Structure 1
Amino acid sequence: MIDVAQHVPTPPPAWVKNMARFGLTAKGVVYCLVGILAFMAAFEIGGKSEQGSDKTGVFKFVLEQSFGRVLLAIIALGLLCYTIWRFIQAFKDTENKGDDAKGVGVRIRYAFSGLVYGALAYYAAKLVLGNGGSGNGDSRETLARELLQQPFGQWLVGIVAVGTAIAGLHQIYMALSDKYKKKVQGAGLKHEAETMMIRAGKIGYIARGIVWLIIAYMFLKAALNSNSQEAGGSGSAFQFIENSSYGSYMLGAVAIGLIFYGVFMFMRAKFQVINVN
């Protein structure tokens, strides 16, 4: 006789589900604010600049608002929760990716995502504590500078460029292949709600992929020219878009896409099935 109990998945602990949903919500807030500030920079609204529209610029923007320190502390905690959830996905293989090359690659991507958002949570916490406001440098420019000082530094920066380009292409692939739909399908949503989520996700993933590809291009230039100042993050990518033909409109479109990505994170926080076993 088949033991049915062995085939019934154990529901994830409530604290893990709540942590993951809180983390996804915080990520959604950050991306919505990035998109809003980038849109304002595109059309010169409120004196916003492209360089001030990246994630660290968003943290400083939040800090300047009423109760900003409290709000930023909540965002930092949310990003920390997202970080922990990503590490759980990576090391416990909660998504059943397996131990083959493809599965390990996906789990490494989860861990890398955790490191990135862990660094953002750390930076936000430093701002809350009043210890991070003096730094004006671009973290990716700093990374490029540190790598260029190492043996085979240009190759190392080139590897970062290739990795970033792969990440950007993966975002666009996720959108065009509709694989991102798995994150929201089967959640028991009404057809209209699911359609809205899918559209928001597709546009958001494409916009995010474009930004990553531009960052990869800047790292490649930094590698080829051995000049760390040519590398940059999302703020520099926004500036690159703004300086292109029809730049304001192009940046405005990407900004709207990033807002949609943030909305998709809210929807994932609400409806995505969270696995921990």
Structure 2
Amino acid sequence: MSGTVRNAASDAGDNPVVRAGARVGYAASGVLHLLIGWLALQLAWGGGSGSADSSGAFTQLGSTPVGAVLLWAVTAGFALLGLWQLTELIGPGEAKDKVKNLGKAVLYLVLAGTALRIAAGGSSGGGEQTSSMTGTLMAQPFGRILVAVVGAVVIGVGIYHVVKGVRSTFLRDLRENPGRWVTWAGRLGYIAKGVALAIVGGLFVVAAVQSDPEGAEGLDGALRSLLELPFGSVLLTVVAFGIAFYGVYSFGRARYAKV
């Protein structure tokens, strides 16, 4: 890669607007996870009607008196955070770190797109989009294998989150010790988010085995599946609080992250 491109990416990553925007993006992640935790808690006790996922959370945010303004701010934050992650792809570093940066960049840009669509008056439809994507994959040669691989990767990401929470290695992402409350919120949040992601991945694997695209649901479907287990409401409540704790940690990360 030419030095000109590398220098341009470095300049973009060091741009004060991009760096400040990245911190806004982490704060936006905090808002998102607090709302998902709230929606999941409502779902656990039969009081919720919205989807307990990013689309449902953005829709909930948009329904507040200042929701439109907040949605545009969240959109900008996630977009700048995704841009900053892209700048981290260029330059020295291990391949595994670059793969992680690319994955995070895609995730944040997708979240920015979802928030933008809802801010502009579009529908949420998170679960339907997941089933549609799965159906498209299954229609391809070796489609069921592709869906199973996607599920296995998501399960792996979930396990990674759980391990990161148990070992508190997320503290390496911060420039200094954020204090006890952020650390504990991060531990509980990463574990709960990892469990939720592992369930999402499991639904993809089951959908591949049964050749049923409708079975591959996103986060909302994964959380609803907990209700089918013994003491499901209690389990979902624990996960809901864990996701909310991840939101609390994200606010701490907005301040202490290495950007």
Normalised by the length of structure 1, the TM-score is 0.84
Contact 2:21 2:76 (8 Å CA) reproduced: no
Structure 2 residue aligned with 1:3: none
Q: Distance in 1 between matches of 2:138 and 2:14?
A: 44
Contact 1:176 1:202 (8 Å CA) reproduced: yes
Q: 1:253 aligns with which of 238, 252, 256?
A: 238
Structure 2 residue aligned with 1:65: 64
Q: Distance in 2 between matches of 1:66 and 1:195?
A: 34
Structure 1 residue aligned with 2:137: 147
Q: How does 1:31-50 map to 2 (within 5 A)?
A: 31-44=33-46, 47-49=47-49
Equivalent pairs: percent with the same residue?
28
Counterpart code for 1:65: T
Q: Distance in 2 between matches of 1:235 and 1:135?
A: 11
Contact 1:138 1:233 (8 Å CA) reproduced: no
Report whether the alignment pairs 1:159 with 2:158: no
Counterpart code for 1:29: V
Which ranges of 4 or more aligned residues in structure 1 deviate by more than 6 Å? none
Q: How does 1:258-273 map to 2 (within 5 A)?
A: 258-273=243-258
- CA offset at residue 181 of structure 1? 1.8
Deviations 1:133-191 (A, max 9, x none): 2746433222211100101100100110111011011101111222112233x52x5xx
Q: Provide the alpha-carbon RMSD of the alignment.
A: 2.0
Q: 1:222 aligns with which of 194, 207, 214?
A: 207
Counterpart code for 1:104: A
Equivalent residue of 2:161, what SS? helix
Counterpart code for 1:176: V
Aligned residues: 248
Name the CA shift for 1:174/1:55 in 2 (closer, same or farther; >3 Å). same
Q: 2:166 aligns with which of 169, 176, 180?
A: 176
Counterpart code for 1:200: A
Q: How does 1:1-277 map to 2 (within 5 A)?
A: 12-44=14-46, 47-49=47-49, 52-89=51-88, 91-93=89-91, 98=93, 103-130=94-121, 132-133=122-123, 135=125, 137-184=127-174, 187=176, 194-274=179-259
Equivalent residue of 1:244, what SS? coil
Q: Which runs of 5+ in 2 are unaligned?
A: 1-10
Deviations 1:22-50 (A, max 9, x none): 11111111011111111122123xx314x
Q: Which runs of 5+ in 1 are unaligned?
A: 1-9
Structure 1 residue aligned with 2:3: none
Name the CA shift for 1:17/1:240 in 2 (closer, same or farther; >3 Å). same
- CA offset at residue 111 of structure 1? 0.9
- CA offset at residue 258 of structure 1? 0.6
Equivalent residue of 2:76, what SS? helix
Contact 2:189 2:242 (8 Å CA) reproduced: yes
Contact 2:127 2:217 (8 Å CA) reproduced: no
Name the CA shift for 1:152/1:268 in 2 (closer, same or farther; >3 Å). same
- CA offset at residue 194 of structure 1? 1.4
Q: Which has the higher helix share?
A: 2
Q: Distance in 1 between matches of 2:164 and 2:126?
A: 33
Normalised by the length of structure 2, the TM-score is 0.89
Q: Distance in 1 between matches of 2:167 and 2:17?
A: 33
